[in-house]
Structure formats: C-alpha cells, structure tokens
Amino acid sequence: MTESIRVKMLLLVTILGILLLSGCSTLPKQTADTQPPMRQYDDIVHHSTDVAAISDPLEGFNRGVYRFNYYFDKYIFLPIVSAYTFVMPDYAEDRVSNFIDNIYEFNNFTNNLLQLKFKQTGITLARFVINTTVGIVGLWDPATSMHLRRQPEDFGQTLGHYGVGNGPYLVLPILGPSNLRDTAGLAVDMVAFNTVAKELETDWMKDNNVRMIFSAVTAVDKRKRQPFRYYRTGSPFEYELVRMLYTSQRKIVIEK
C-alpha cells in the first residue's frame, strides 16, 4: 500500500511541477522593437466563416504537459516499450494485447449497454464468451475471424452520445490529449472496472502486486500499439494539429 501512496505522491509532485513551470502566457513576448508582420492574422483570417473553435482556456498548462509528455515518452516510456518488444517475441506480444483487450471488453459492454446499442452489446458479450473459452482466457481472438468485430465504447463516448459537449481541451500527463468530458469518462470507466474487479474477488485482482503488474503491462502495451511519436509530423504546429485531430476523432467515434 505504501508503494502505491508513494507513486501517487510522485505523480502529484510532478503535476505541481508542471503547473508551476507552465503558468506563463501563451502570447509571444513583445519587446521595444517589435514590429508587426507583413501578413497579419486580422487581415487574412475571416472570423465569421472560419477558425476551428476548440475551447482551450488552459493552453499554457496544456502546452506544459505536452512538453512533459514529450520528455516522458522519450526518456522513460519509449525505452521501456522498446525493452519490452526486444525481450518479448512478437507472438507473445500479440497474446498480451488480446488478453488485455478481452478484459477491457467490460467497458465496451457497459458503455454499449448504456447507449442502448443492443446489437453492439450483444456482439461484445459474444466476443467475450468466445474469446475467453475458445480463445483461452482471451489470449487469442477467434471472434474477429467470425466477423464479430470489436465495438469500442467508453464513458466519454457515452456522455457524448447523450449530448454532453467536449468541455475545455486538456492534455493529461502521460495519457495525452483529452478534454473535460473524456477525462471524467476515463475516471468513471476506471472506477467501474476496479469496483467490479474487486466485487468478483478474483484471486489475482486481490493481489496488489499482480494488479500493479497488470496496470504496468497495460500501459506499455497501449503505448506500443499507439504509433504516434512526438514531432514526427515535423510541424511547428503539432500541438494545434493534435488538438484538432483528437477533437475530430472523438466526434467521429461518438457519432458513428
């Protein structure tokens, strides 16, 4: 238990550090000799018809976290991911991914149900049963080859489905782009998952060490499957691009 408190403390200190580092303004700092550019925003961009309005009142903070994530990814996360992929045969990595996906079918199930998507709920349940039995505790995914595709849903999508707007854009430490609605959704999904896991009183979930290992492997596996690498776009506007693409992608999965 002390271990997990220490982890939480560390996280808190880190976040505080970021907050302190990023309290500054997001406007370029003017000097005495500042001259406006030849091509100015107000002359060129017409507000009435344009500007993808994504609310980002915490931009200074968000950019700080974005920067933190860049370094975290570079010096901690990606080295761990490469060590993991180096040690593990590809075949075993796929089994791990399937196993994790199968466990988190729980969230797909509850959220499809909450959105009254009964067909998708049924598919999710069928997938879980087939993959847990025929697929041996979810290590394989025979359901997909039976044309039962995964039906990913999370509580952020459920909220969106019922008309909850994005709220301000947020960049979460380690987890990356999000917004107020999706962050709340993430928290609810986590609480629901942990509550049920505890209710079930499965032996492995009771064991703190096993739980920690499971969470760690889940995080590494998730990063491994996410091809995004910071600044591979090469664009100085990457923060803005990620913000736009994240927001569009969420819109797509909510409306689908």
Q: Which residues contact other proteins (rule: CB under 8 A)?
A: 22, 24-31, 33-41, 44-46, 49-52, 59-60, 63-64, 67, 70, 149, 230-232, 234-237, 239-240, 248, 251-253, 255-256
Which residues is 169 bridged to in the sheet?
A: 179
The Cα–Cα gap between 89 and 248 comes to: 35
CA-angle at 178, arms to 223 and 46, nearest 5°: 125
Closest CA to 142 of 151, 133, 153: 133
State in angstroms the smallest separation of the CB of 124 from other proteins: 13
Give the DSSP per-residue string, 129-193: HHHHHTTTTTTS-HHHHTT-------HHHHHHHTT----SEEEETTTEEEEHHHHHHHHHHHHHH
State in angstroms the smallest separation of the CB of 201 from other proteins: 36
Q: Supply the Cα-derived Rg of the chain in whole angstroms.
A: 21
DSSP state of 231: T
Segment holding 61, helix H or strand E: helix 59-72
Query: Reduced to 3 states, what is the DSSP secondary structure of residue 18?
Result: helix
Smaller CB separation from other proteins, 74 or 198: 74
Contact, 206 vs 197, CB < 8 A? no
State in angstroms the smallest separation of the CB of 37 from other proteins: 5
The Cα–Cα gap between 223 and 233 comes to: 18
Smaller CB separation from other proteins, 217 or 238: 238
Which residues is 177 bridged to in the sheet?
A: 171
